[in-house]
Amino acid sequence: MPQIRPITDLRNTTEISEICHAKNEPIFITKNGYGDLVVMSIEAYESMLSDKEIDKDIELSEADYEKNGIAHDASEVFLSLKRKYFGQI
């Protein structure tokens, strides 16, 4: 469940930092009862960016499949890569 805290809680930076690192999820900060900011650890942010890149790559692959209709079996691709980089297998 997401943490929602008032902006005045940002005065205690140590507590906010500890919560961000312990939960590894963002804290939503409100101002006058409305959403204002999101605070998260660097690890959570980098993970979010990585997930976004993976989603982008999947979308590109799906678009390529729809355009060209070509799909490759994963086991064949891995076998081909093993042969290419590790020699005869």
Cβ-based burial of 56 (10 A; exposed 0-12, middle 13-18, buried ≥19):
exposed
Mean pLDDT value of segment 76-87: 89
CB 1 within 8 A of CB 24: no
Q: What is the pTM of this model?
A: 0.66
How far, in Å, are 6, 14, 42, 80, 89 from residue 19 at the CA level?
14, 9, 13, 46, 49
Residue 19's pLDDT is 94
The average confidence (pLDDT) of the chain is 91
Higher-confidence residue of 65 and 9: namely: 9
Pairing status of strand 3-6 against strand 27-31: parallel
Mean pLDDT value of segment 20-49: 95
Q: Give the chain's domains with CATH numbers.
A: 3-40 (3.40.1620.10), 44-86 (no CATH)
Residue 72 has pLDDT above 90, yes or no: no
Residue 89 has pLDDT above 70, yes or no: no
Residue 59's pLDDT is 92
Confidence of residue 28 (pLDDT cuts 50, 70, 90): very high
